[in-house]
Structure 1
Amino acid sequence: MTDDLRLDLLGPLRGWAGERRLDLGPIRQQTLLAVLALRPNQVISADELVELVWSDAPPSTGAKIVPPYIYRLRKLLPEGVLVHTRDGYSLRLAPGASDLERFESLVSAGHADRDKDRAAARLSEALELFTGEPFSGLAGHYLSVQRHRLTERRLKVLAERIELDLERGRYGDLVPELVALVEEDRLREQFAGQLMLAYWRSGRISEALDTYTRTRQELVEQLGVEPGPELRAIHERILQNDEPLARPAVRDELPYDGAAFVGRDDVLRQVVDALHTAGPAVVAIDGMAGVGKTALAVRAARQLGDVYPDGRLFIDLHGYTPGHEPVSALQALDRLLRTLSVPAERIPADLEERAALWRSELAGRRILVVLDNAPDSAAVRPLLAGGPRCGVLVTSRRQLTGLDATARLALDVLRPEDARELLAEIVGPDRAGSAGAAAEVVSQCGHLPLAIRVAGARLRHRPSWTIEHLSKRLDAEDRRLAELSTDSGGVSPAFALSYESLPPDQQRLFRLLGAMTGQDIEMYAAAALADLDVVEAEDLLEQLVDANLLLQLRPGRFQFHDLLRQYARTLAPEPDAVRRLLDYYLYATAEASAAIFGSRLHPLPEPAMVRLPEFASVADGLAWIDAEGANVLATIRYSESSGALEQAWRTGLSVASCFFQRGQVYELDEAHQLSLRAAEGDAEAESRVLLSIGSLGRYRLGAEESLRTLLAARDKLPENADLTLRARLLASIGYSQAKLRPDEEALAVLDDALEASRQAGDRSIAARVLAYVGVTYSDRLEFAQALTAYQESLAEGDPGVQAEVLNGIGECLLELDRVDEAVTALTNARDLGVERGSDYSLIYTYAFLGTAYARRRQWSEALDFGRQAVELAQDSDSTESQQNAYVRLAETLLAKGDLARARPHFARAMELAVVDGQESMILRAASGLARTSPAA
């Protein structure tokens, strides 16, 4: 990642590359850059960019408008900053490269610093980064919202810095600044209150009271409301000239929160801020067992003594405590009322009356109540304070959705660096070892605080152990939970309590999810695993999320924390569950592939016995593969290693073409390797897998290597193999032969393949064979015959080859000087390629369109298409497509008269062609090099 680019967002958009100020171009281009900069190092799809940048005037071309703007930004930004992935675009910014990131970093540091002088200095430094209105002059609804957000953020931080200055006694210095702020916005009560305090404590009482009068008049006249309780309270104190006196010591029941509390600065600040608000505050913290909810709640409560000076109460409701029944609301109220010195004879027996007395006792007091380890919302509701100055902080392993909380926080595991710091706090820096060893241990603990504490305690109490030895013990997954559990507690007992609190149907699904073959799961796969209706499976998954036994990192997809997954695997499985899951992935992959390619490429032995998603379009199939591809690959690995060999090779064959379509080269190779191992000993299966390897590998490994693999597939083919498989194999062999030598022998093999496809009654294979015939004639430079073959292929109606066939038709029409017709065919090919997500076909489409527009002398369009072809080709693993893209872009530049820029592209095409032995391309590139030579 480069660190040359710097961006200023907290004012007019400005950029630098090193010390050089950048000209960021037109307004819309700047808006696009600003949107990308607001989400640095994240991938944003082209469709989302259109929505965010052009919301005020959506273009008729949709997402097609994005690449030209991206291209212009790439030209002005440092190299490597703006990247294009398959899913969209990302602006890569180094840490601290934007003033917005520096602002947030300084604010966080100020919040964390207990020294008020240093904290105020850091907040002041952060505020100085604002140089005006954020993104001033840039249009669009999204930036308008962000502009308002950042402006409000600045005012909040400014108010915090002023509050620190008041606490530091800088009353006189603050008056001029606050006068300007109040004049700027007479309805902002917070600044008016701060000005009143600054005047009062400077001895200027009349001006303080005058400020209140003018602020109240503005609020009544403009909004029809009286000042809020905080401003009225300041006014009352000034009238009475009564600074708050020190209060007597009050009851503080907070437990010891331990010395080892690291990280969590951001969430700690969220909790503290939420309990600082005016009015009764109820904050709910939920999270999985052992994540540190109690430690966070107690640490936050300790920082709120000045906000709740009348007491901080704590009660463990024992919702998940070994050997304890949950404390009922009736029992909890009895304990809390006694804490407030209510005599036993005054405490009613009835729950409602007891709750009413509790609220009455809290009236007029400022008390914080910490309700730890709540079993559910029902146990908490009667304990809520009614007093406007009281706060309640609740922790639970469940999401307390039935609780009317003013703020909610889902606590996650520690960040890796904080997890390492916690381990070092427990064992001491000398025992923590190297950063790498500590990182390995906390990773094995899943960054879960409880697991880290147990692991750290084991290391601390065993002087002969090293951290490397501990890591080695934790490395065995089947022993890890035992290593992280003790007789008195630890990870497994904590998880067991959460599991045992579930109803039976949730317990069953939790157990079965331990058999997940992939990293995550969606509702159809879960339904297959548990043999349930899809809606019922989804409901149960959501209920496990509510219980914090399952994570939902994005809508509809669920996964375990690593240690919870290992715990689920220790529970009793159901033998048929995994078989149903393997069936699901086999048939769902086949249906997704059929949706993408228009027909099923590989036969399946029997109808699916599991419910599958609906694949109504190409987009449905592509979306499923994009979401589930990694899980399908993991399922193939599991199937192959566990002996489910037929499912392994059949699933591998179905997904391989999808990976090829998406340009996922490494996934494609692994699927083929696993399939080939699983097919060993089954001649027809081996032949099918080798056919797929030879066909899909042709573009990357070259025709010669492809042909060797295909001939091996032919040798494996049984005599009684079905005609469809034989036709496919002959077609692929003929095509590879033609790519080596487009002679009569290759055409004869393709004729045999066409005859076999006709006998099999398979129009899909016939269409593909005719497309191969078209390519062969095109390589022979016999473009009229090639065009006829392509048109016959198109007439067969197979959607799986339409984009490639239209590319071939476009090339032939170009060579026959029918440019307008070529543009029409290639535009249709582009639309199909985009719809099907086929980068390989789009490489050729863009390259041919570049040539077509060059023939029309429309240089801007020609160069844009040519460069898009090269970009896609560079991301692919196909040297053949790279050669075509480079040489056609070079020819466009040459035709335009830009010899200097054309020459490197001809040279690159030559280099690739020599390696591949592509004689026609060598001659073409050599001719281009000769024509661009300085001596020419």
Structure 2
Amino acid sequence: MRLIPRNYHNQRLDSPVLPCPADRTGGDAMERAGRSASSRATGIVSAEERRRLRNRLAELGLTRHQLIELLAGELRQRGFRPRAAWRYANELTQTAVADRYNEITGSANAAMKASRISEYEAWPFAKDGAGVRPTIRALKTLATIYGTTWDQLVDIADLEQMPLTERLEFQEAVARRGTDDVPVRTGGDLPAEVPNFTGRNSSKAQLRQRVEDHLYGDGPAVHVIDGLTGIGKTALARYAVAAFGRRFPDGTLWVDLHGYTAGREPRDPGDVLEQLLLEVGVPREIIEADPGGRAVRWRSAMSGQRMMIVFDNVLDSAQVKPLLPQAPGCFVIITSRSKLTGLAEAAPLRLEVMEWAEAEELLVKLGNLGSAYDRASVRQILRTSGRLPLAIKLIGGQIAHHGADMLADVAAEFATLTADIKNTHAGRSAGSSAAEDILDRFAAEDESLRAAFEMSYQRLASSAHQRAVRLLGWFPGPEVTAETMATIAAVPLNEGKLLVRRLFEAGFLDPAPSGPTGPRYRMHDLTRLCARLHAEREDSPREHAAVLERLIAHGLTIAWRASRLDVFDPAGSEHLSDPSDEANRARAWLTAEGDMLFSCVQAAPPGADVSELARLLAAHLSGSGQWSRAHRLYERAYEIADILDDRRGQAWALLGRGRIDRLVGNHAQARSTFRAAEAIAVELGYLRCHADVLCELGQTARITGDHAGARTHFTDALAIARQLGHRPSECDALDGLAHVERAASDYQTARECSERALEIANEMGDPVRVAAVQWGYAEVIRRMGDHRLAGRHYSDALGIARSLNHRKLEGDALRGLGHIERLVGDLDTARGYFDDALDIARHIHDRYGEGWTLWGLGNIARKTGEYERAREMFQQAHDIAEAINDPLGQVDALRGLGHVQRHFGDYEAARRYYTDSMAVAERIGDPHGLADGLRGLAHVAARTSTDGSAEELLARALEQYERIGVTLAEQVRAEMLRDN
């Protein structure tokens, strides 16, 4: 028996809206601030009066909930705002509410305060116009405390301030609660509402908009919710019925077509039509026997009707197409694992995996985890489950029953099993299946993820499609294309395109961003595990090896098309013998398929092709700055070459690995690796390899300040290259000598070596070498004062680097252009170049490039008067130079710190920095750095002494500048004349 109407609490919404009176039961002084003069004039319901009201209602024999609901309504009638009325009805103080709020939300720092509860109750009528609007989330928490629904805590004043989306949600909440309306028919197989339907706010909003559009005649009538097995399609459709069903006065129909129900065949459309006709009141005796006649009668019966109809669990377009009512007043929702591309008039609504926050909230809720749960373990479980709602539900239920201790155990087990799958090599005999062990975790009584997937697999149209799924179970890459599908299935490309399209339409593949070879698709991790399990059960281990062999052979073909790897050059990439458009497309393919090829190389049995692909791919990745992966590929190439007793392969792999160590600043390890490669080359009499190893040893010696040793290595390499007539090695040796002579401040010799190297690189038509040598040449002539010509070569190198996606060369060229603009006085442009160079260096972990770019930015900051920033930049540059053993970088960074200290008047500190810089310069044979240090000391002496030491120091600096032939000599002469 209902004692009062459900809308009793809102009968006085048009009365003056009054804030709450003082809380005399709890003494919360904040509450008095919100009370208006009008509330005092109309009288206050005192604590004593509230007790009398409560006693009178208790005499009626009401339950506590009924009593509270009636008392809240009575207080509303007497002028209380709804949130205050419900709090008083529950006999709670604002402090008690705040404490309970923090318990529910798990707020460790007690974020909710009594003052905020007061603001919520007064909103939007605070005296000073301040206050905080309670969000729907806050209202729902308060409703939990008060034992009501959140819409009961809202009045007209609140609604006028609400955003449109929240007002729509309020309408839906009222509609769900409004049981006084005429009951709406809900025929068919309508399931119960999902008790923990979490998140999906974007999809809910889309559905809401589509319903609104349809009701106003602006949107389609048929909508297909598609997505993976267990993604939550049925739950979203059930939400739509609960939220919007009452907008359709002729009722709701829900039919499960059993497209993927275990143990049942998909329902026949003719049988479903008979059920539908009976449910809308068509007498059985006039229903036609043939499906066509039933479809006509169904459309006729639905003409003019306004219904929401859900066809759940649809197999394909053919099953559901005859069931569509084709009535403009009916809103039809279809759920299916398939894409249903045969329904041209339907609007798709793709349901993706849950967002991380939503998935975490669902697992915490279902697992009954406390507020201090192990977040790392939760994240591991979510990674393994792929944030699939069904998987989360199944594992969450187990955790809820077994206790929170199970959380860490399951997470650790998933981590181990996932690693086991990644480390599985082709050809391993079948035994325990990590895929099966993971999938078995996602099961509860008669429901399991495996069973759900099994139906999708069995419903595939042909054995060829099933085989394609199993092959994808072995596929090592994150994304698949028609080309890779054709490769692993050993079929023509057109057939590969068809297979990919069919698996996409069947729900096994999801779209991914397109690449250079066209559309790309990805398979969900759990779908892949199920596919792998079928592959393990139905195919031999040999099939796994065959898949990898086909992919490696295909990758090797394209890698050779992209570039013939003759030598390892100083630029950090492969020797490009073919800069054509076809080669560029091949390089783009290697970039797009890098993850897949990397996994192939790691998983494939040892073989010469695998080792060769590892080296080629490593060289390609090195160019784009993926040095960590390149290093691992060279390690794999060496491992395979060792197994095959391929000594030449070992030498090349060692050489490549050493180059990566050098590029990341690990010079000691690089030198050791190069020595090992050199020993093999000498043992085999392999002069080509020996020349290249000597070039790498020269680069390592140069960077670490051993100019004499570097000069010897490059000279020996040059002699071997000329003996062999091998132009690439000759180019590299000359370019290396240019770098050594530049570091030693012999700029004229450096220029001659660079010009000869550039001539050879241009003759070979090798763009990477051309760009690398141009950059080295620009570094020389910049120091000689020819800024215009240096800028042109930096720009040319930058253009080539960008056209080849060569990230290290791009960063080097940008840094060079920054120096040019700095020297000519365009500091803003210079800073832009340096900032871009720094981003690249940090992205690819180029510590050498990062240090020198920071030094350039320090000089910009010093020129613009930002000396604290300059100090920071120089210090960072020095720290990097020290960490990677770059003495030349130390020389310049120490001198920069000296300039900063001199500006601040700390001449003693400045003198120490200049002296330390000169000591390093003298140790490595850097006369330019020595001269710069002397010049800095002269400026300190000019400010701290009058004994003529400044002039003496400047004279010594001038002597050094004149000897090495740089334009700074003129500046020093001018300084000496000015001082005199």
* Same fold by TM-score greater than 0.5: yes
1:314 aligned counterpart, secondary structure: strand
Conserved? CA contact 1:593–1:600, under 8 Å? no
- 1:666 to 1:120, Cα distance in 2 relative to 1, 3 A: farther
- Following superposition, the deviation at residue 638 of structure 1 comes to 1.7
> Are 1:848 and 2:816 counterparts?
yes
Partner of 1:185: none
**TM-score, normalised with respect to structure 2:** 0.65
2:188 aligned counterpart, secondary structure: coil
Conserved? CA contact 1:591–1:615, under 8 Å? no
Conserved? CA contact 1:618–1:836, under 8 Å? no
- Following superposition, the deviation at residue 865 of structure 1 comes to 3.0
Partner of 1:497: 455
In 2, Cα distance between the equivalents of 1:856 and 1:249?
80
2:316 aligned counterpart, secondary structure: coil
- Following superposition, the deviation at residue 463 of structure 1 comes to 8.3
- 1:586 to 1:930, Cα distance in 2 relative to 1, 3 A: farther
Unmatched 5+ residue regions in structure 1? 1-102, 128-155, 169-244, 604-612
- 1:422 to 1:255, Cα distance in 2 relative to 1, 3 A: farther
1:261 to 193, 196, 209: 196
> Are 1:413 and 2:372 counterparts?
no
Partner of 2:628: 666
Partner of 2:767: 799
- Following superposition, the deviation at residue 778 of structure 1 comes to 1.6
- Following superposition, the deviation at residue 696 of structure 1 comes to 2.8
In 1, Cα distance between the equivalents of 2:190 and 2:283?
24
1:252 aligned counterpart, secondary structure: strand
- 1:552 to 1:386, Cα distance in 2 relative to 1, 3 A: closer
2:187 aligned counterpart, secondary structure: coil
- Following superposition, the deviation at residue 915 of structure 1 comes to 4.7
Partner of 2:599: 634
Structure 1 segment 174-185 matched on structure 2, within 5 A: none
**TM-score, normalised with respect to structure 1:** 0.68
Partner amino acid for 1:636? V
Conserved? CA contact 2:435–2:532, under 8 Å? no
Structure 1 segment 777-792 matched on structure 2, within 5 A: 777-792=741-756
Partner of 1:564: 527
Conserved? CA contact 1:366–1:389, under 8 Å? yes
In 2, Cα distance between the equivalents of 1:124 and 1:497?
50
> Are 1:536 and 2:509 counterparts?
no
- 1:405 to 1:115, Cα distance in 2 relative to 1, 3 A: farther
In 2, Cα distance between the equivalents of 1:511 and 1:490?
20
Structure 1 segment 818-833 matched on structure 2, within 5 A: 818-833=786-801
Partner of 1:549: 508
1:182-241 CA distance string (max 9 Å, x none): xxxxxxxxxxxxxxxxxxxxxxxxxxxxxxxxxxxxxxxxxxxxxxxxxxxxxxxxxxxx
- Following superposition, the deviation at residue 620 of structure 1 comes to 3.9
- 1:737 to 1:265, Cα distance in 2 relative to 1, 3 A: closer
> Are 1:274 and 2:210 counterparts?
yes
In 1, Cα distance between the equivalents of 2:235 and 2:722?
73
Conserved? CA contact 2:552–2:609, under 8 Å? no
Partner amino acid for 2:274? D
Judge which range, 852-861 or 106-115, deviates more: 106-115
Conserved? CA contact 2:399–2:406, under 8 Å? yes
Q: Which has the larger radius of gyration?
A: 2
In 2, Cα distance between the equivalents of 1:916 and 1:472?
37
> Are 1:880 and 2:848 counterparts?
yes
Conserved? CA contact 1:891–1:902, under 8 Å? yes
Partner of 1:190: none
Conserved? CA contact 1:509–1:530, under 8 Å? yes
- 1:296 to 1:913, Cα distance in 2 relative to 1, 3 A: closer
> Are 1:588 and 2:588 counterparts?
no
1:673-722 CA distance string (max 9 Å, x none): 43443333533222212111222322323545422221111123364465
2:740 to 768, 772, 776: 776
Conserved? CA contact 2:136–2:150, under 8 Å? no
Partner amino acid for 1:491? L
> Are 1:657 and 2:619 counterparts?
yes
- Following superposition, the deviation at residue 487 of structure 1 comes to 7.6
Partner amino acid for 1:539? L
In 2, Cα distance between the equivalents of 1:289 and 1:516?
20
In 1, Cα distance between the equivalents of 2:386 and 2:899?
62
Conserved? CA contact 2:635–2:653, under 8 Å? no
2:677 to 688, 701, 713: 713
Unmatched 5+ residue regions in structure 2? 1-131, 142-148, 418-433, 570-577, 908-939, 941-980
In 1, Cα distance between the equivalents of 2:819 and 2:210?
62
- 1:410 to 1:739, Cα distance in 2 relative to 1, 3 A: closer
- 1:898 to 1:322, Cα distance in 2 relative to 1, 3 A: closer
Partner of 2:151: 115
- Following superposition, the deviation at residue 269 of structure 1 comes to 4.1
- Following superposition, the deviation at residue 806 of structure 1 comes to 0.7
2:319 aligned counterpart, secondary structure: coil
1:114-150 CA distance string (max 9 Å, x none): 61764977775464xxxxxxxxxxxxxxxxxxxxxxx
Partner of 1:220: none
Partner of 1:526: 485
- 1:703 to 1:387, Cα distance in 2 relative to 1, 3 A: closer
In 1, Cα distance between the equivalents of 2:137 and 2:258?
34
In 1, Cα distance between the equivalents of 2:662 and 2:378?
46
- 1:123 to 1:656, Cα distance in 2 relative to 1, 3 A: farther
Conserved? CA contact 1:551–1:558, under 8 Å? yes
Partner amino acid for 2:263? G
Conserved? CA contact 2:435–2:533, under 8 Å? no
Report the count of equivalent residues.
717
Partner of 2:606: 644
In 2, Cα distance between the equivalents of 1:922 and 1:468?
48
- 1:116 to 1:757, Cα distance in 2 relative to 1, 3 A: farther
Conserved? CA contact 1:431–1:467, under 8 Å? no
In 1, Cα distance between the equivalents of 2:543 and 2:140?
55
In 2, Cα distance between the equivalents of 1:247 and 1:443?
47
- Following superposition, the deviation at residue 897 of structure 1 comes to 7.4
1:409 aligned counterpart, secondary structure: strand
In 1, Cα distance between the equivalents of 2:291 and 2:758?
78
In 2, Cα distance between the equivalents of 1:535 and 1:882?
47
- 1:762 to 1:109, Cα distance in 2 relative to 1, 3 A: farther
> Are 1:698 and 2:634 counterparts?
no
Structure 1 segment 203-218 matched on structure 2, within 5 A: none
In 2, Cα distance between the equivalents of 1:844 and 1:251?
69
1:61-88 CA distance string (max 9 Å, x none): xxxxxxxxxxxxxxxxxxxxxxxxxxxx
Structure 1 segment 390-405 matched on structure 2, within 5 A: 390-405=330-345
- Following superposition, the deviation at residue 745 of structure 1 comes to 5.5
Partner amino acid for 2:211? L
> Are 1:573 and 2:539 counterparts?
yes
- 1:566 to 1:533, Cα distance in 2 relative to 1, 3 A: same
In 2, Cα distance between the equivalents of 1:479 and 1:853?
61
Partner amino acid for 2:466? Q
In 2, Cα distance between the equivalents of 1:776 and 1:339?
90
Conserved? CA contact 2:705–2:886, under 8 Å? no
In 1, Cα distance between the equivalents of 2:808 and 2:448?
53
1:379 aligned counterpart, secondary structure: helix
Partner of 1:728: 692
Partner of 1:386: 326
Partner of 2:470: 511
Conserved? CA contact 1:742–1:780, under 8 Å? no
> Are 1:285 and 2:225 counterparts?
yes
- Following superposition, the deviation at residue 511 of structure 1 comes to 0.7
In 2, Cα distance between the equivalents of 1:432 and 1:861?
51
In 2, Cα distance between the equivalents of 1:547 and 1:119?
49
- 1:495 to 1:348, Cα distance in 2 relative to 1, 3 A: same
> Are 1:479 and 2:447 counterparts?
no
2:387 aligned counterpart, secondary structure: coil
Partner of 1:310: 250
In 2, Cα distance between the equivalents of 1:315 and 1:164?
23
In 2, Cα distance between the equivalents of 1:159 and 1:431?
31
